Amino acid sequence: MVEGCELMGTTLWIVDINVDELWETPEIKQAADYLCKGEVIAFPTETVYGLGANATDSQAVKKIFEAKGRPSDNPLIVHIADPKQMKELVDEVTPVGQQLIEAFCPGPISLIFKKKEGVFSELVTAGLDTVAIRIPEHPVAFALLRAAGVPVAAPSANRSGKPSPTSAEHVMDDLNGFIKGVIDGGETGYGLESTVVDCTGEVPVILRPGSITADAIKEVVGEVIVDPALKDEKEAPRAPGMKYRHYAPDHPLYLVDGTSELLQSFVNQFKRDGKRIGVITTRENQAKIDADAIIVMGSQADLSSIAHSLYDSLRKSDVLDVDILLSLCFPEEGVGQAIMNRLRKAAGNRVLTQADLAK
C-alpha cells in the first residue's frame, strides 16, 4: 500500500527527490498508473507545478481543461522524458530545434515543431498543426514521465487566471477535490514557466519569455526573434495563451515605473484617498517603504531570486487586509524580461509613472 493522505479524493504523495531510481518508488508508480488510466496528476517541475494527463487520450486531456477552467483554444505543452521520443511526436526536428535541444534540454524551455498527425488528442494542440514539447529536468517530473511511458500534456497546475503554483500547497489551494493526486516534491526552482520557442522556421521565435533568456538562445543559434506582441499590446500574440489575463492576485496590482521614493509617493497618495496599501518589494527596498503591509520578494541584486518567489508573493498578497497592491518595475534584462511579462499580466497592464502622481 502506498502511504498518502486522501483529501476529498485528491491524494497527496510526499516524495524525497534525492532517492535513487525514483521512478521505481510506490508513490511515483501509483501516480504513473493513474496517468496511464486517464486521470490527471499534478507534479513538480523545475519551473512550476504541472497538471499532467496522457496527451494521446482526449478524455484525460479534457479533465485538465475542466479542472483548470482553461479556455479550449489555449494549447498545452507536451512533456517527455527523453529527446529520443521526439521523432515519434513531431514531423521534423528542424536544425535550430536540434541545436536548442542539445544546448538546453532537459531544462526550462518548450520547443514548437510541426506535429505528427494522429498522435495527440486534438484538445492538446487546440486544432493547430504544431505542438510544443518540453523535456523537464526535475527528478520527480523525469521519474513520472519515465514510469508512465506516455507523452504527458501539462499546463501549470492552477485555476486559470491565478498565479502558477510553485509548491504542492499552492496546487492544493486551487485544485483539491478536482484532481486525482498531487506529488509533493517541495518548492520549484526557477519559479516561472518555461521559455516557449517556435522552432518551425530557420530563426527561432520566442513566444513566451522564461528563465532561458533571448541572449542565451542567441549565443547558441546566432539569431533569435522575440514575438513583437510581447512588447506591443496591439499585436496579436503567436502563442494563443499569451492573450489571456494571467497570474492575477485578488487585490488590484499597480506597477510603478520609477524609484522606491516614487512608489512611496503613490502609497501616500492612495492613503490620502482612504485606501489600505500592500507593497511587494525586494529585501533592499523593504526599509525604504512605509505601507500597511509589505511582502518581501527576493533580492534586487539577483533577479532569479525574484523569479523564484514572484508567484508565492502574489498568492500571499491575497490574504492581506488591503485595497491596492503596488510593486516597482524590474529591469528588463535577462530573466527580468520574463518577470516583467508576468508582472504586467498580473497587473492587467496598469503601470504608474511620475506623470500619474497628483500635483
Q: Which residues bind ligand AMP (CB under 6 A)?
A: 74-77, 112, 125, 128, 130-132, 155-156, 193, 196, 207-208, 239-242
State the nearest-atom distance from the C-beta of 272 to Mg ion, in Å: 37
154 is in an annotated binding site: yes
94 is in an annotated binding site: no
State the nearest-atom distance from the C-beta of 157 to ligand AMP, in Å: 10
User: In whole angstroms, what is the distance from residue 157 CA to residue 91 CA?
Assistant: 29
194 is in an annotated binding site: yes
Partner whose footprint covers residue 208, from ligand AMP, Mg ion, none (CB < 5 to 8 Å by kind):
ligand AMP
138 is in an annotated binding site: no
Strand order in the sheet with 253-256: 293-296, 277-281, 324-328, 253-256, 351-352
Partner whose footprint covers residue 130, from ligand AMP, Mg ion, none (CB < 5 to 8 Å by kind):
ligand AMP
Strand order in the sheet with 181-184: 5-7, 10-14, 181-184, 41-44, 49-54, 152-153, 77-79, 130-134, 109-114, 195-198, 205-208, 225-226
* Minimal CB distance residue for Mg ion: 156
State the nearest-atom distance from the C-beta of 188 to ligand AMP, in Å: 13
Partner whose footprint covers residue 128, from Mg ion, ligand AMP, none (CB < 5 to 8 Å by kind):
ligand AMP
| CB closer to Mg ion, 70 vs 115 | 70
| CB closer to Mg ion, 97 vs 155 | 155
State the nearest-atom distance from the C-beta of 292 to ligand AMP, in Å: 32
130 is in an annotated binding site: yes
Q: Which residues bind Mg ion (CB under 5 A)?
A: 155-156
| CB closer to ligand AMP, 57 vs 193 | 193
User: In whole angstroms, what is the distance from residue 274 CA to residue 287 CA?
Assistant: 23
How close are the terminal C-alpha atoms of the chain, in Å? 68
Encoded amino acid at 148, one letter:
A
State the nearest-atom distance from the C-beta of 41 to ligand AMP, in Å: 15
State the nearest-atom distance from the C-beta of 1 to ligand AMP, in Å: 33
350 is in an annotated binding site: no
| CB closer to ligand AMP, 10 vs 156 | 156
| CB closer to Mg ion, 136 vs 155 | 155
156 is in an annotated binding site: yes
Q: Which residues pair with 280 in a beta bridge?
A: 295, 327
State the nearest-atom distance from the C-beta of 110 to Mg ion, in Å: 12
| CB closer to ligand AMP, 132 vs 338 | 132
Provide the pairing of β-strand 293-296 with 277-281.
parallel
| CB closer to Mg ion, 69 vs 177 | 69
State the nearest-atom distance from the C-beta of 304 to ligand AMP, in Å: 19
| CB closer to Mg ion, 285 vs 344 | 344
315 is in an annotated binding site: no
Hunting for cell 503613490 — which residue is that? 266
Q: Which residues are annotated as a binding site for ATP?
A: 70, 74, 130, 156, 164, 208, 247
Q: Which residues are annotated as a binding site for L-threonine?
A: 47, 79, 134, 154, 194
Q: Which residues are annotated as a binding site?
A: 47, 70, 74, 79, 130, 134, 154, 156, 164, 194, 208, 247
